[in-house]
Structure 1
């Protein structure tokens, strides 16, 4: 005698117990009705002979080679499997694209979908090919020097793991990451680099009892950008042994402004005086920075050592020196190349005087 599956004694839709059970909680009539409703308006499945007539050599050359359509898209149009489309392509001796080319087409079309887990919840994400000016760090310019300063302070370069599905193994890929509390700075970096990558938001968390504040991140995986940054002198372990790069004199102020937007601060003291400070984990870097500013007429400040879990070094300016620093960093600079909040603290203070 027919038995319903566990936890079901009747059809959950119509309540019948007499009609043959075909799916979990559904009788055959309800199951057929639901399937027909879901597929209403779709093309009927064609016979094998009909599909064979459609998938001619001329048709496949146009759709697969000229239009660069995927096997799956062609299969949907012909109401057959992608495996059958592939067999017809091989039958006619049509050159098939490599897995790398197929992946690139899928990336361009936003078709690579994967599940990523955030806070124990699965989130469906769609991979897409990120557009970026790959030659951005290959030659000096005001924009390049400014973004380089941000990368030196809030950025990181490293080699990460990426799954190679073809060989079921991991391969090393270059990674460039910039993390900032303020999305404005990252959005400006994106525009300057002609980049359409998505910014990701990380909630405030605790790691081994240490608080990690909320932040936004911009992540890129690009060999050309990575190689150019390493040629300039950036390393993966830069925080404590970072060396000031060799920069043409005319671009120094843009690089320094980028550094200040990253690790610098501008504020009013308790007495109402404007102050500016810069903190760095590398003593060699901050000494070089102080010497360069001194060479441009900004008085060489005193560097103080700050003890803690990791030793850092701080330089601080106030009074008339701050005005010289303000003019040096911001004179005739487009607003696309500075953090608005820090600029306004400077600007509003001197406008009120």
Structure 2
């Protein structure tokens, strides 16, 4: 009498492997010496529900941790910088997924190294869109790390509702530097009427509370007075905090990049040039405005 797959694998055994142990269909097929399709059909015959691709991915990362979880449990300048990146350019999902997507590979590679990320960076090269940029993405799943982020207000669908978090004072400049690298800009120019140099430090967010938090911190820490917070005309519901006074922009540059802290290469270079110009013009010296 021919032995069938049903004879070899009972419903109870298949449920134990797939549901209780969390093994994939492919793993079970390899264990039983048969094909993927055979196990898939047997599950259907037994009425065992299959995981969605999203659930399967989450389970895979749970069983195969692809980063250093301990990194996120320690307060450090690097952690709070990365937290700032996630507050601006990252996202968290309800099932514990964490994703960071940026256009600057130097930042993504730095984060990858710091958190011990073992997987490849996903690269998306846009096609058919004028001026669209290549993006680089890190993705991992971990409920514990998602819970740590949630404690700082980084939750699913945070863009319009995120509150400015309670960050230890010694790390607040690291956090804002991360936010700046995610959703900030620095522009330097020359006025056409009189040739005077112009500088503008800018951070945007969909949350007014978050932008007000940045404004409050820069006033308290540096006595910087920015322009009135306004709605960005280029995006409905996006709020903008801008500092245009040159000596104030220099103060921010010195504060953000103290001790030669890491930052996005193109923004850091421009901010340090602002600081260098200010010192040469004796508008800023040894950490104080003059």
- Per the normalisation by structure 2, the TM-score is 0.68
Aligned pairs for 1:98-177 (under 5 A) are 100=21, 129-159=64-94, 173-177=95-99
More strand by proportion, 1 or 2? 1
Answer whether contact 1:135 1:224 (CA < 8 A) is retained. no
Query: Which structure carries more relative contact order (alpha carbon 8 Å, separation 6+)?
Result: 2
Q: Deviations over 1:153-175 (max 9, x none)?
A: 0000013xxxxxxxxxxxxx421
The alpha-carbon distance between structure 1 residues 189 and 243, as it changes in their structure 2 partners (threshold 3 A), is same
* Pairs within 5 Å for 1:309-324: 310-318=236-244, 319-324=246-251
- Out of 117, 138, 163, which is 1:218 matched to? 138
**Which whole-Å deviations, capped at 9, do the CAs of 1:180-220 have from their partners, x for residues lacking one?**
1111111111112122221112232579xx99643111111
> What's the secondary structure of 2:186's corresponding residue?
strand
CA distance in structure 2 between the partners assigned to 1:306 and 1:152 by the alignment: 19
Unaligned ranges ≥5, structure 1: 1-82, 88-96, 107-113, 115-126, 160-172
Structure 1 pair 206/231, CA: closer, same or farther in 2 (3 Å)?
farther
Residues matched between the structures, number: 224
Per the alignment, in what secondary structure is the counterpart of residue 177 of structure 1? strand
Worse-matched range after superposition: 211-220 or 282-291: 211-220
Distance 1:212 1:243 in 2: 30
Structure having the higher Rg: 1
Cα distance change on mapping 1:204 and 1:270 into 2, 3 Å? farther
Structure-2 separation of matches of 1:218 and 1:262? 14
Deviation at 1:349, TM superposition (A): 3.8
**Aligned partners of 2:203 and 2:164: how far apart in 1?**
14
Q: Does the 8 A contact of 1:298 with 1:325 survive in 2?
A: no
SS of aligned partner of 2:241 = strand
Please give the root-mean-square deviation of Cα atoms over the aligned residues, in Å.
3.0
Say whether 1:348 aligns with 2:273. Answer: yes
**Where do 4+ consecutive residues of structure 1 move more than 4 Å?**
210-213
Secondary structure of 2:224's counterpart equals: coil
Q: Aligned pair 1:263/2:189, yes or no? A: no
Query: Aligned partners of 1:350, 1:140: CA distance in 2, in Å?
Result: 29
1:201 is the counterpart of 2:119: no
CA contact (8 A) 1:205 1:214 kept: no
Return the structure number with greater helix share: 2
Q: Is the 8 A contact 2:66 2:140 kept in 1?
A: no
Aligned counterparts of 1:102 and 1:240: Cα–Cα separation in 2? 38
**Cα distance change on mapping 1:191 and 1:212 into 2, 3 Å:** same
| 2:205 corresponding residue in structure 1 | 280
